[in-house]
C-alpha cells in the first residue's frame, strides 16, 4: 500500500463548483470553464501515489495547480471531488478533530516563505506543533532543540526569526516540521525563496537528512533542476492536470507531449544524464583466472579496442590490461595477466552525473568503468559515447 | 399635484427610543448608579493626590512607557501649566471620564472586532452600523443619552462610548484579517483549532494594529468628553462651555490649551506603547 494515494482529485474554485465539475469531467478545459462558467480549475483529475520513503516532486509553472494539489492532501484546501488516502485512511472523510489529529501525527509542512511566527523565538517556532499536540514544555523544548540541531541551528534557539537569514529561517521551518516526528513532509516550494547557492546547499542537506530519516516527502517546485536533483519521481502538472509521472530520466528522454518537451528543453543535460544512461555494455571483458596475454590480445583485436577490463568469476572488477603490455608479456612467454594488471582504476557509480564524468574522462587513457556497490562492472563509458549521448539528448 | 405623504422617520425613531426608555430605563438607571459610583471613586482617587505628586507619577509613568525625554518633559511641564491655570479639578475630572469611557469602549470594541474577523455574518452586520455611528454628528448621541441615563456624567460616558468604539472594532478586526495567509495556513497545518490560532498567532500579530485602534479610541473619547459638557459632563469641556456662554475668551482658550495638553500626552504615550510592541 502506498503511503499517499491520490485518486481522481478535483478542486474547482467558485460559488457553484458542482456544475463546473461536471463540465470538467466532460472534458472542458481550464480556459473554457473560466470563460463560460467563471470558475477556476485548481486541480483536474489528479491521481498519483507516493511510496513510503520516496521523494516525489510535483512540478509545474505557477498556476499549474501544484500548490493547490498539496493543500488538498492535508485539506488546507477542501477538494471538490476525489479521494486522498494516507496509510489507507481516507483524509477527505475526516471530521475537524480527526483532521487536526492527522495533521499533527503524520503531516509536517514546510512553506515557501517560511511562515515563521515573528513573535516567537526560534525554539518556540520549532516547538509549535508539539505545543498544539499538548506535549509538556520541557519535552517539547528538548525535542525542538534536537530538530534544530539536525538542521544545524544549535545556538540560535533564543533568537527571533527576524534576526535570521532566509536560509536559516527555512531551516527553522524544516525543524518545526521535523519536530513533529511525522512520517510525511509536505514541502511547498520550500527552497524557492532562497538565493541559488543557499538553495543548492539546502537541497544537499535535505538529501542528507533524507538518508538518515527516510521520510515520505512530497515536494512542490517550479524548478526542473531542483526536481531532478531531489525527486525519485517527478509529477509534472499543467493547468491543474497531471501531464506526466516518471523519473527525471523518463521525463527528459521520453517527454509525454510537446508541453513537457518544451518544459525540459532548457535543462542542463550534463546535470541530468547519469552514468548508467550514457554507458555502453563492455564489448569485451577479460577473466583474471582463465585469460592469458594472448587470449586478452585476441579479445581486444576482435572488439577493436586497446585496453581490456579484467573481472573475476563474480563479475567483480579487478583491473585493466593494455594491448602493448599484453603483447610484451606474450613475447616473454608468460601465461598469466596478473603481472601486467593495472589495478589503480578510476570508476564511477551508476548515478554519477555526466557533469562529473566529463571531468574524470579528461586525461584518462582508458574508458571509465561503471560499477555498482559491490564493485561489479555494469558498463563502460568512453569519451565518444558520452559526447554522443549529450549531443543526442541536448538537441530537440 | 399628487401629495406624497411625509415619511415619519423621526417620529418612528422617537417612538422606538421612548418605548426603549419606558421598558429599559430601570436597567439603564441602575447601570447609571454603578457607573456613577465607579467614576466618583476614580475621580476622588485622582483628586485625593496632591497635584505635584500626580504630576511626578504621570511623568515617571511616561518615562517608563516611552523612554523618550521629550514626551516626559511634555508631561511634566504640560500638567504643571494646567495646575498653574487653576484647571486641575476640571482636568482630573476629564481624565477620569476618558479613562472610564475608553475602558468600556475597549471592552466592547475588541471582542466585537474579534468576532467580526472570525465570522463573516457578524462582520456584515457590524460594518454598516459602524458606518452610521461614525458619520452621525456626535451631538446627536447626546439626545437619547439623557432619557436613559439622566443629565450628567454617565450620559456623557454613554455617548462617548458610542462615539469612540468604532475604531476599536474596526482596527481589531483589520489587525486579525491582516495576518499573512501563509501564517494562518501554517497554524492550520500544524493542527491548531480556531481558538489556538486566535490566541497564539492572530492576536499577538494584531496587537500593534489594535493598539492603533485604542489610540484613536482614546482621542475620540477625549474629543467627545469635551462635547458632552453640553449634557453636564463638566471637566475641561465644561470650562469651555461656560466660557462660550459668558463670552470669556481668555478662560475659553486656557481650558482649550488644557485639553490640547492632555490630548498630546495621551497620544504620544499610546503611540510609543503601540510601536514598541511592533518594533521587535
Position B279 scores a pLDDT of 44
Q: How does DSSP classify residue B106?
A: H
Position B280 scores a pLDDT of 39
Rounded to the nearest angstrom, the minimum Cα separation between B86 and chain A is 46
Position A236 scores a pLDDT of 92
Range A4-269 has CATH code 3.40.50.300:
yes
pLDDT higher than 60, residue A396: no
Rounded to the nearest angstrom, the minimum Cα separation between A57 and chain B is 20
Position B225 scores a pLDDT of 86
CATH 3.40.50.300 range(s) for chain A read 4-269
CA dihedral A210, A214, A216, A217 (to 10 degrees): 0
Architecture of the CATH domain A276-394: Roll (3.10)
Reported as a single tens digit per residue, the pLDDT across B73-120 is 999 999 999 999 989 989 999 999 999 999 999 999 999 999 999 999
Given A113, A129, A176, which is nearest B191 (Cβ)? Answer: A129
pLDDT higher than 60, residue A394: no
Q: Tell me what percent of the residues of chain A surpass a pLDDT of 90.
A: 44
Interface test with B, best of A91, A102, A119 (most B CBs within 10 A): A119
Q: Which of residues 117-146 of A touch B (CB under 8 A)?
A: 117-119, 128-129, 131-133
Q: Where are the domains of chain B?
A: 15-279
Kindly determine whether residue B189 and residue A128, on different chains, have CB atoms separated by under 8 Å. no
Better pLDDT: A267 or A211? A211
Contact with chain B for residue A107, Cβ under 8 A: yes
Reported as a single tens digit per residue, the pLDDT across A20-65 is 899 889 888 888 888 888 899 999 999 999 999 999 999 988 888 9
Position B75 scores a pLDDT of 92
pLDDT higher than 70, residue B1: no
H or E element in which residue B145 lies: helix B142-149
Instruction: Give the fold, CATH level 3, of B15-279.
Output: MetI-like fold (1.10.3720)
Question: ipTM of this predicted complex?
Answer: 0.76
**Chain B: residue nearest A75 by CA?**
B189
Q: Tell me what percent of the residues of chain A surpass a pLDDT of 70.
A: 97
Rounded to the nearest angstrom, the minimum Cα separation between A47 and chain B is 22
Better pLDDT: B276 or B268? B268
CATH 3.10.580.10 range(s) for chain A read 276-394
Given B182, B192, B196, which is nearest A115 (Cβ)? Answer: B182
Residue A248: how many CB atoms within 10 A of its CB?
24
Reported as a single tens digit per residue, the pLDDT across B220-248 is 999 988 888 888 888 899 999 999 999 99
pLDDT higher than 70, residue A395: no
Contact with chain B for residue A96, Cβ under 8 A: yes
pLDDT band at residue A71 using 50, 70 and 90 as cut-offs = very high
User: If you count residue pairs, one on A and one on B, with CB atoms under 8 Å apart, how many are there?
Assistant: 54
Given B182, B191, B204, which is nearest A103 (Cβ)? Answer: B191
Q: Tell me what percent of the residues of chain B surpass a pLDDT of 70.
A: 97
Residue range A298-305: mean pLDDT, rounded: 86
**Chain A: residue nearest B193 by CA?**
A100
Better pLDDT: A211 or A272? A211
Reported as a single tens digit per residue, the pLDDT across A170-204 is 999 999 999 998 999 999 999 988 887 888 889 99
Residue range B247-276: mean pLDDT, rounded: 88
Amino acid at each position: 500500500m502506498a503511503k499517499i494515494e491520490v485518486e481522481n482529485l478535483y478542486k474547482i474554485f467558485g460559488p457553484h463548483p458542482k456544475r463546473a465539475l461536471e463540465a470538467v469531467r466532460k472534458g472542458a478545459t481550464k480556459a473554457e470553464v473560466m470563460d463560460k462558467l467563471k470558475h477556476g480549475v485548481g486541480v483536474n483529475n489528479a491521481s498519483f501515489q507516493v511510496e513510503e520513503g520516496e521523494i516525489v516532486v510535483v512540478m509545474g509553472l505557477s498556476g499549474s495547480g501544484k500548490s493547490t494539489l498539496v493543500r488538498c492532501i492535508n485539506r488546507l484546501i477542501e477538494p471538490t471531488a476525489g479521494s486522498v488516502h494516507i496509510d489507507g485512511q481516507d483524509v477527505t472523510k475526516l471530521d475537524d478533530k480527526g483532521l487536526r489529529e492527522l495533521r499533527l501525527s503524520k503531516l509536517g509542512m514546510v512553506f515557501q516563505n517560511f511562515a515563521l511566527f515573528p513573535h516567537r523565538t526560534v525554539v518556540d517556532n520549532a516547538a509549535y506543533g508539539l505545543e498544539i499536540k499538548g506535549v509538556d514544555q520541557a519535552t517539547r523544548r528538548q525535542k525542538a532543540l534536537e530538530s534544530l540541531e539536525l538542521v544545524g541551528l544549535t545556538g540560535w534557539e533564543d533568537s527571533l526569526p527576524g534576526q535570521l537569514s532566509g536560509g536559516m529561517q527555512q531551516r527553522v521551518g524544516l525543524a518545526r516540521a521535523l519536530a513533529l516526528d511525522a512520517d510525511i513532509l509536505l514541502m511547498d516550494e520550500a527552497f524557492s525563496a532562497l538565493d541559488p547557492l543557499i538553495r543548492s546547499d539546502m537541497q544537499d542537506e535535505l538529501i542528507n537528512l533524507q538518508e538518515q530519516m527516510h521520510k515520505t516527502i512530497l515536494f512542490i517546485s517550479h524548478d526542473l533542476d531542483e526536481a531532478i536533483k531531489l525527486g525519485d519521481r517527478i509529477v509534472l502538472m499543467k493547468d491543474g492536470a497531471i501531464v506526466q509521472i516518471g523519473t527525471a530520466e523518463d521525463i527528459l528522454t521520453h517527454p509525454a507531449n510537446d508541453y513537457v518537451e518544451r518544459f525540459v528543453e532548457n535543462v542542463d543535460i550534463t546535470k541530468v544524464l547519469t552514468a548508467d544512461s550514457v554507458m555502453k555494455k563492455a564489448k569485451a571483458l577479460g577473466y583474471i583466472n582463465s585469460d592469458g596475454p594472448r587470449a586478452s590480445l585476441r579479445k581486444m583485436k576482435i572488439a577493436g579496442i586497446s585496453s581490456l577490463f579484467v573481472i573475476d568469476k563474480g563479475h567483480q572488477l579487478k583491473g585493466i590490461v593494455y594491448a602493448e603490455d599484453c603483447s610484451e608479456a606474450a613475447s616473454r612467454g608468460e601465461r598469466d595477466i596478473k603481472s601486467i594488471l593495472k589495478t589503480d582504476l578510476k570508476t564511477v557509480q551508476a548515478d554519477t552525473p555526466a557533469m562529473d564524468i566529463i571531468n574524470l574522462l579528461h586525461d584518462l587513457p582508458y574508458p571509465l568503468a561503471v560499477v555498482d556497490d559491490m564493485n561489479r562492472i555494469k558498463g563502460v563509458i568512453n569519451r565518444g559515447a558520452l559526447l554522443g549521448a549529450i549531443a543526442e539528448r541536448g538537441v530537440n | 399635484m399628487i401629495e406624497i405623504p411625509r415619511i415619519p422617520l423621526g417620529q418612528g425613531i422617537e417612538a422606538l427610543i421612548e418605548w426603549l426608555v419606558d421598558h429599559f430605563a430601570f436597567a439603564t438607571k441602575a447601570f447609571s448608579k454603578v457607573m456613577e459610583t465607579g467614576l466618583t471613586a476614580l475621580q476622588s482617587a485622582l483628586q485625593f493626590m496632591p497635584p505635584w505628586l500626580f504630576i511626578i507619577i504621570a511623568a515617571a509613568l511616561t518615562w517608563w512607557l516611552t523612554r523618550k525625554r521629550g514626551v516626559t518633559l511634555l508631561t511634566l511641564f504640560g500638567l504643571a501649566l494646567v495646575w498653574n491655570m487653576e484647571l486641575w479639578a476640571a482636568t482630573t475630572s476629564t481624565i477620569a471620564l476618558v479613562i472610564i469611557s475608553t475602558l468600556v469602549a475597549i471592552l466592547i470594541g475588541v471582542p466585537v472586532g474579534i468576532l467580526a474577523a472570525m465570522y463573516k455574518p457578524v462582520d456584515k452586520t457590524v460594518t454598516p452600523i459602524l458606518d452610521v455611528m461614525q458619520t452621525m454628528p456626535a451631538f446627536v448621541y447626546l439626545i437619547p443619552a439623557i432619557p436613559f441615563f439622566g443629565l450628567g456624567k454617565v450620559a456623557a460616558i454613554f455617548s462617548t462610548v458610542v462615539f469612540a468604539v468604532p475604531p476599536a472594532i474596526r482596527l481589531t478586526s483589520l489587525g486579525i484579517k491582516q495576518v499573512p495567509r501563509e501564517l494562518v495556513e501554517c497554524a492550520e497545518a500544524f493542527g491548531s483549532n480556531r481558538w489556538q490560532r486566535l490566541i497564539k498567532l492572530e492576536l499577538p500579530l494584531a496587537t500593534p494594529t489594535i493598539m492603533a485602534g485604542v489610540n484613536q479610541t482614546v482621542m475620540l473619547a477625549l474629543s467627545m468628553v469635551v462635547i458632552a459638557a453640553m449634557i453636564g459632563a463638566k471637566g475641561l469641556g465644561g470650562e469651555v462651555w461656560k466660557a462660550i456662554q459668558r463670552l470669556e475668551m481668555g478662560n475659553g482658550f486656557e481650558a482649550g490649551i488644557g485639553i490640547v495638553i492632555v490630548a498630546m500626552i495621551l497620544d504620544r504615550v499610546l503611540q510609543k506603547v503601540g510601536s514598541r510592541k511592533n518594533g521587535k
